[in-house]
Structure 1
């Protein structure tokens, strides 16, 4: 199966599951779910369930049946070298996870970006790629040629000085936790829209 996309954060309980769930919802909405394999993982996962706040946030992106299936089958998973090597595109929450992937699977470095970095590298209308691997090549070619992502509407809760990082809000107060994951969901929608527009059916 082609078009393998992997989302990664620290524990694979909040940020990366929201990224993956939003992508799954976009694919379902476009009727293209059979063409893709969407997964998520953590650099330090301990096999827990999906965060309840993440479930609430995904309710605005996924229909009830799809969300129930996603929630019921979800288990926080540690990323494996084999998974990293097979992925056509790897998207992380922060530079820290991106660096961890580079150490574990050096061959995946050119296909690995933070979520906001990938959004910042996306081109405008009219760009196309035959598949996700080709799309990752386009992003990699642009790396270093553009400035850091600015996406000011996604920066309200930023703790990092780098605009490409999405901070971990899992242990934050409920309001901040929810708002942070809503930002993740919205950024993921931007990414999914750009990818699906660039990669034809």
Structure 2
């Protein structure tokens, strides 16, 4: 089974939010439905529950409640980093820490926003035939690594409620998901952004692997699908 690891500092906020949202996007009849998604922390002793604000961001469904009740922070291990097919970190500092822990995982490690930018560009190139369509998560990761450095990494726009209108974001790495625990409005922004980035990235990863045209009959009634695939 293929595995995606979400890595942040404490695995109580950004990590579990992204884990839940990414699982949601890959589930169902997606070609990546069999991919396991887990979150891990670099600076946790383990056993801590998800923070209240993060739990609230997951929504009020029974599935979200069960996830929040069961989640406990877990420290990333050398073995897990080496075995994961894809590692997505909240910040570049976390990506560097993963590389120190497991040097062989460097080519499979990206910040979440970095992966989102690369996957968005690749999805368009695959759709227009300029790049081959990957058939698995492993092939997708190889493509992401191939284009790393060749695509300008500009922060993907994520409008998260009134925060953007009322306050200026602190200066930070544009490809990092900020923590925000030191400030309540910033923390709300951080949880919203983590959720939206995860949902969008999950959709892009599915778009890369799934050939929508192959799932429908080539008849005149399929015109709309061909235009929007």
Instruction: Verify same fold: TM over 0.5.
Output: yes
Q: Note the 1:116-135 alignment, pairs <5 A.
A: 116-122=113-119, 123-125=122-124, 126=127, 128-135=133-140
Residue 94 of structure 1 pairs with residue 104 of structure 2: no
Q: Which residue in the other structure is 1:180 paired with? A: 190
* TM-fit CA distance, 1:68: 2.2
* Structure with the greater alpha carbon radius of gyration: 2
Residues 173-200 of structure 1: per-residue CA shift (max 9 Å, x gap): 2x32112110111111110000112223
* TM-fit CA distance, 1:51: 0.9
Q: Which residue in the other structure is 1:108 paired with? A: 105
Q: Partners of 1:30 and 1:170 in 2: how far apart?
A: 36
Structure 2 unaligned residues grouped into runs of 5+: 212-229
Bigger drift between 144-153 and 191-200 goes to: 144-153
Preserved contact between residue 93 and residue 115 of structure 1 (Cα < 8 Å): yes
Preserved contact between residue 31 and residue 210 of structure 2 (Cα < 8 Å): no
SS at match of 2:113: helix
Matching residue within 193, 197, 200 for 2:207: 197
Residue 163 of structure 1 pairs with residue 163 of structure 2: no
Root mean square deviation of aligned Cα: 2.1
Preserved contact between residue 158 and residue 196 of structure 2 (Cα < 8 Å): no
Q: Which residue in the other structure is 1:152 paired with? A: 157
SS at match of 1:35: coil
Preserved contact between residue 30 and residue 210 of structure 2 (Cα < 8 Å): no
- Report how many aligned residue pairs link the two structures: 196
SS at match of 1:72: helix
Residue 23 of structure 1 pairs with residue 22 of structure 2: yes
Q: Which residue in the other structure is 2:39 paired with? A: 40
Residues 98-152 of structure 1: per-residue CA shift (max 9 Å, x gap): 0000000000000000000001111234263111111111000011111122323
